[in-house]
Homo-oligomer: A and B are copies of this chain.
Amino acid sequence: ADPAVLADARAHQERLTKPRGALGVLEDVAVRLAGAAGRSPAPMPSPAALAIFAGDHGVHAQGVTPWPQEVTTQMVGNFLAGGAVANAFAAQVGASVTVVDVGVAADLDDAPGLLRRKVAYGTADLASGPAMTTAQAVAALHVGIETARALIEDGARCLITGDMGIANTTASAALICAFTGTSPEEATGRGTGIDDETLQRKIDVVRRALAANGLEPTSHEPAGAAAGLRVLAAVGGLEHAAIAGFILGGAAARVPVILDGVIAGSAALAAAALAPAVVDHCVAGHRSAEPGHRAALDHLGLRPLVDLELRLGEGTGGLLAHPLVCSAVRVMHDVATFDAAGVTEKEI
C-alpha cells in the first residue's frame, strides 16, 4: 500500500460531514483500499465477479464428512442452473457467477458460466502424503490467476472468492495449522455439520496429515514462497490453490478481493506466503462458524465485515459483504465536507 495515499485517505475521512471515526470499521476499509489502489478515493469496487472454484479431495475417503463426494459435481450443476444460495446472493448484489472446474472428480460437460480448467480428478489423500504434486499446485495457482485476469478484462472491479468441494474444510484446517501454528484441535471444525465422532476423526486426520507431510504445527510459520508452495501442495486442495492464485491475480491488477469463509482464509494464508503484499488488496467478507477461520484472519490481520454464523462457503459470505465494501468506498466519493456543506464542526 502507498503510505502517501493512505495518509491522504485518512485526512479526507476527517473532513467529511460525520463525527471522526463514526463509520468504525468501514473507515478502515475505505482507507486500506485507497492505499491498495494507489489513489484516494479508491475506485468503486463494482461490478463484482464471483468465481466458485470446485475440486474434490482424496481425504474424503477418511470419512471426514457425511456428504457423498458426488455432491461437488451436483452442486456445480446447481450453480450453473442458478439454484444455489450463491446464485441468490449474487443476484441480490449484481455480481456475475463463474464456476471453475479446477479439480472435480468427474468429467463435466461444457456449459455457460463454466470454465473447464481441471488440473486433476481431485487431490490425493493428504492424510498419507502430499495432496498435490508441486506441478499440480502451480497449475491450479495459474488457473486462479488466469480467472482473475479474465474477469477483470471483462470489467470486474471487485473479485469475490467462492469454493465448492466436499471435504475441503479438512484441507483448510491443515493449511491453517501449518501456516499459523494453530493446533488441529483448535483449527478443525464441524464444516457443514458433523457429529462428535466424525469431528474427532477429522481432527485425527488433520494431525496425521501434518505428520505425514512434515508439517507439525510450531510457533514458526513456514517462511517464504518456496515453503508456502510446499505447504499448499502438501495439504491444500486444488480449489485452495486456485483461490490463492485468484487473490494473486486480483492484487496484481490492484483490484480488491473479498474473501469468503474458511476456505478462502486458508487459501489467503498461502497467497500471503507467496507474496505478502497481496493482503493489502484483501477484504475479509465474513467470519464463518468454523473455528480455524478466526486463526487465519488473525494471522492475516483482517477483520471480517459480516459475522452471522454462516457456514456454507460458495462465496456466500463474500457476496453479503460486497454492498458493505461498496458503501465504505462510496462515502469517500459522495459525502460532502464540513466546509462544502456549511456544517459547523464540534467545539473541541
Q: Show the binding face of A for B, using Cβ within 8 Å.
A: 16-26, 65-68, 70-71, 74-75, 77-78, 81-85, 87-89, 91-93, 192-193, 289, 305-312, 316, 319-320, 323-324, 326-327, 330-331, 333-336, 340-344, 346-348
Contact partners of A81 in chain B: CB under 8 A = 336, 341
Residues of B within 8 Å of A88, CB to CB, are 327, 330-331, 333-335
- A316: chain B residues at CB < 8 Å are 23
How many subunits of this chain does the assembly comprise? 2
Complex CA gap A234/B279 in Å reads: 52
- Residues of B within 8 Å of A312, CB to CB, are 18-19, 22-23
A20 vs B311: C-alpha distance in the bound complex, in angstroms? 10
A91 & B306 in contact (Cβ 8 Å cutoff): no
Asked if A24 contacts B83 (CB within 8 A), the reply is no
Shortest CB–CB separation between residue A52 and chain B, in angstroms?
14
Q: 9 extra interchain contacts, Cβ-Cβ under 8 A, other than A74-B343, A89-B331, A192-B346? A: A24-B309, A67-B346, A71-B344, A77-B341, A83-B341, A85-B335, A93-B323, A320-B323, A323-B323
Of A65, A70, A323, most B-chain CB atoms within 10 Å: A323
How far does the Cβ of A45 sit from chain B's closest Cβ, in whole Å? 11
Docked pose: A321 CA to B334 CA in angstroms = 20
How far is B86's CA from A204's CA once the two chains are assembled, in angstroms?
50
Q: Give Cα distance in the complex from A70 to B330, angstroms.
A: 27
A43 to chain B, nearest CB (A): 15
